Amino acid sequence: MSSLVDRIERYLKELLDKNPKGVIELQRNELAGLFECAPSQINYVLSTRFSLHRGYIVESRRGGGGFIKLIKLPLLSLDVVCRLLLEELGGEVSQQVGEGLIDRLYEDGLLTAREASLLRKLIHRDTLQLELPERDYLRARILRVALLEVIKDEIPWNKD
C-alpha cells in the first residue's frame, strides 16, 4: 500500500497531466478533506514533491481554505537540458536536487526507468561514501557525465 504522501503526489500529477496548460488550482482544506489528513500534510507534499528543482512552481495563500496554484514547468527543449547540465551541475549537487532532476527527466521521457534507477543509485550518499562537500562535487560530476551520455544522440551539434 502506498503512503499518503505518494497518493497525494500521484493525485496532483494526474490532475496536472489532465490540464493541457499544466496548471491546477485547489483549496488546501478540500484536498486535505479528500485525503482525510491535516492541511500541513498537504504542505509537506507540496514542498518535498513539487519543488522548483523538480520542475514545479507552487503558489500558496493562507486563509479562506488555503488556495494552492500548482504549475508544472515545461521542459522546453533539449537546449534547456544542456544548459542545466552545464550550469546547474557545474558545482555541488545535493542528493535531493540530483534525484529531483532525475525524476523530472524521467517524467519527461528523457530517461528510461532503468536509467533513472541506475542514476539514483549512483548518486546516493550510501554509494558516494565521502564527506561533504566532496560528495556533492562528485555527485554533480557523475550526473553531468551520465546525462550527457544519455542525451548525446539528441544534441544537434553531435549529428554528422
Query: How many Å apart are CA 139 and CA 93, to the nearest integer?
Result: 6
The HSE-up count of residue 88 (CA atoms within 13 Å, CB side) is 17
Overall pTM surpassing 0.75 (yes/no):
no
- The 10s digit of each residue's pLDDT in 36-85 is 999 889 989 998 888 776 778 888 877 666 688 898 877 655 556 556 66
How does residue 100 score in pLDDT terms, banded at 50, 70 and 90? confident
Length of the chain in residues, anyone?
A: 160
* pLDDT given for residue 113 in this prediction: 94
At residue 159, the pLDDT reads 45
- pLDDT bracket for residue 124 (50, 70, 90): very high
pLDDT for position 160:
45
DSSP state of 24: E
Most confident of 1-5, 77-81, 125-129: 125-129
Which comes out higher in pLDDT, residue 84 or 142?
A: 142
Helix (H) or strand (E) holding 105: helix 95-107
In the chain, what are the domains? 4-72 (3.30.56.130), 78-154 (1.10.1200.150)
Q: Hey, what's the cell of 132?
A: 561533504
